[in-house]
């Protein structure tokens, strides 16, 4: 079957839109209506006129799209597409944690469940995290959850002392400074660029740190011809497309493994995407009460990010 043709037909018939994250397979990225980072995707989800949103990404992203579109159908090609970072922060555990810091507000990274969002004062993504934190006074006490690497990066950049939840992304947290240095020795002219979910040591030596969109833009704007890329492999597809004459070296833990392919992102396939659009399932279902509560901190974020 020609999935591309069939998906395009179904999209028209059903007034559907496909939103994809940069960590999806090239095949999925190429059939999408919009590809972006978590902020771009939520902004796009907030303004679409489509009746159906197919979210080629992971559960917390599809939930975010549903929270912003209560009356629309939001589909996820594989409902098992979770996230180790979101899973590291349970709802009940965060309630207990908050009790230890009663005078703190809670800023949560968008990589968390819809239920955890209801415990948050405001949400942030990797592209607006510093702006969101700095929207509060220096005196404001803050709990930052669930990514400790992003949290400590923001603490360093802003001089804050946020209390950090002990969570991390299994893909980014596995990359080590030794893996990066090995590549730098091999390609001394290459610029090191890293996602803020990486460990602090890597962020400390990186020439540029940013969200997936920011990393992609940097590779296009910067004059360098070579880049050492410390993030998930999916982003390389757009980097190569935008910069066919530049070279990209992905940081891995071991050259023979595909350990920095996110197993959750890559569980989606073009066939699952086709089936999900055809059968209109798996569908994201959240109660009205949950949507109303989780929407408040998300809208606050979108307002500040305009």
Residues lying near ligand SF4 in the complex (CB under 6 A) are found at 23, 58, 83-85, 111, 169-171, 232, 262, 264-265
Residues numbered 198 to 237 that lie near ligand 13P (CB under 6 A) are: 211-212
Identify how many contiguous H helices and E strands the chain contains and give both numbers: 15, 12
State the binding partner of 67 from ligand SF4, ligand 13P, none, CB within 5 to 8 A by kind. Answer: none
Question: What is the DSSP secondary structure assignment for residue 278, as one 8-state letter?
Answer: H
Query: Between residues 29 and 111, which has the closer beta carbon with respect to ligand SF4?
Result: 111
Work out whether 125 is an interface residue with ligand 13P (CB under 6 A): yes
For residue 300, give every residue at least 6 positions away whose Cβ sits within 8 Å of its Cβ, in sequence order, or none.
Answer: 121, 122, 123
CB of 100 vs ligand SF4, minimal distance in Å: 25
Could you tell which of ligand SF4, ligand 13P, none binds residue 170, using a CB distance below 5 to 8 A set by kind?
A: ligand SF4
Cβ-proximal residues to 171 (8 Å cutoff; 6+ apart), any chain: 84, 197, 232, 259, 260, 261, 262
Q: Which is nearer to ligand SF4, 50 or 260 (CB)?
A: 260
CA triplet 159, 218, 179: central angle to 5 degrees?
75
Give φ, ψ of 253 to 5 degrees.
-80, -25
Position 84 contacts ligand 13P (CB under 6 A): no
CB of 263 to ligand SF4, least distance (A): 8
CB of 184 closer than 8 Å to CB of 228: yes
Q: Does 111 bind ligand 13P (CB under 6 A)?
A: yes
For 209, the enclosing helix (H) or strand (E) is strand 208-209
For the CB of residue 51, give the shortest distance to ligand SF4 in the complex, in Å. 27
What residues make contact with ligand 13P under the rule CB under 6 A? 37-38, 111, 125-126, 169, 195, 197, 211-212
């Amino acid at each position: 079957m020609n999935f591309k043709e069939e998906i395009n037909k179904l999209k028209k018939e059903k007034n559907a839109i496909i939103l994809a994250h940069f960590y999806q397979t090239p095949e999925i990225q190429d059939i999408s209506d919009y590809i972006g980072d978590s902020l771009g995707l939520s902004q796009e989800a907030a303004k679409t006129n489509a009746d159906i949103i197919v979210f080629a990404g992971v559960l917390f992203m599809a939930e975010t799209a549903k929270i912003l579109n209560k009356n629309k159908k939001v589909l996820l090609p594989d409902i098992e597409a979770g996230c180790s970072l979101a899973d590291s922060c349970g709802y009940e555990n965060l309630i207990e944690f908050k009790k230890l810091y009663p005078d703190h507000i809670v800023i949560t990274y968008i990589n968390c469940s819809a239920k955890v969002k209801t415990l948050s004062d405001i949400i942030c993504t990797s592209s607006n995290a510093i702006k969101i934190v700095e929207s509060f006074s220096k005196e404001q006490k803050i709990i930052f959850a669930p990514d400790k690497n992003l949290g400590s990066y923001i603490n360093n950049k802003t001089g804050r002392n946020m209390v950090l939840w002990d969570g991390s992304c299994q893909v980014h947290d596995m990359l080590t400074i030794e893996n990066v240095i090995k590549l730098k020795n091999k390609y001394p002219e290459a610029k090191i660029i890293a996602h803020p979910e990486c460990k602090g040591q890597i962020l400390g030596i990186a020439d540029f740190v940013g969200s997936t969109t920011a990393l992609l833009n940097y590779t296009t704007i910067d004059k360098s011809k070579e880049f050492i890329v410390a993030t998930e492999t999916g982003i390389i597809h757009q980097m190569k497309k935008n910069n066919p004459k530049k070279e990209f070296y992905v940081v891995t833990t071991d050259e023979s493994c595909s350990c920095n392919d996110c197993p959750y992102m890559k569980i989606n396939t073009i066939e699952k995407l086709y089936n999900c659009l055809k059968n209109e399932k798996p569908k994201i279902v959240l109660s009205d009460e949950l949507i109303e509560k989780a929407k408040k901190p998300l809208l606050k974020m979108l307002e500040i990010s305009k």
